Amino acid sequence: MTEKKTYVQPKGNAGTLRFVAIALWLLGIACEVLGVLTILNKIIFSNPVLFICLFLVADLILIAIGSYCWKRANKIDPPSEKNKTEFFIKTQLGAIISVIAFFPILLFLINDKNLDKKSKMWVSILAGACLLGSVALGIDYDPISLEDLQQMMVNSESSDFGAGTVQWSKNSKVYHTWEDCSSLKRILPQNLREGSAEAAFQEGKARMCWFCADHFHIVDGVESKQPSE
């Protein structure tokens, strides 16, 4: 196996990322409030439709970036899944906030009597698209937990690359601990990464390769099926 690889160090501060996420979410919701006040004619603009659209777009950008920061923080400091409800809320908070940030303004638009019919239709479509897009960006489709990280750190202690050190491909979701793993040997040199279990976890590699697990007789924290050759 080629020795060319990229060494990765754990990075990022979960607390800072969560603070940024919450701040951006609050700004996004503030844009929603401004949009609602414009719809209700509490704030008067010469072109209210234009400003409502601007508020919607600004809302989407702020909420989406906030959701990215929140999901990134969860990879640095993952929540425990012992309490299923709490785990769901913490991992899917971006999607929950997205509903709060767009569903109310969409309701106000649907029930509005001030905008002309054509403008109301197009702005409502934009609001609906922002809602769906924001929720899609806010969902964590493969949430990982504190227990995943702890199991990964245990599994990595048997690594051929040194205790606690693993290798992975930037394009996969698994990590490797066996230097002769057939899957590992198929990774292109420019895609090969090496670092601590924490570094791999931060890049979303929460499951051990099936071949590596079989070699070390590990059954916990392993990808669900044997990969195809």
Of the candidates 216, 173, 204, 229, the one whose C-alpha atom is nearest the C-alpha of residue 74 is 204
At a CB cut-off of 8 Å and minimum separation 6, what does 43 contact? Answer: 34, 37
* pLDDT, position 220: 86
Residue 17 to residues 66, 190, 213: CA-CA distances in angstroms?
9, 29, 33
Query: 124-136 b/e with 16+ CB inside 10 Å = b?
Result: bebbeebbeebbe
Chunked mean pLDDT (size 10), the chain, 229 residues: 71 94 98 97 94 98 98 96 96 98 97 92 97 98 93 92 93 92 90 93 92 91 61
One-character DSSP codes across 172-204? SSEEE--TT-HHHHTS-GGGEEEEEHHHHHHTT
**Phi and psi at residue 176, to the nearest 5°:** -125, 145
**Residue 6 bridge partners (DSSP):** 193
* pLDDT, position 229: 37
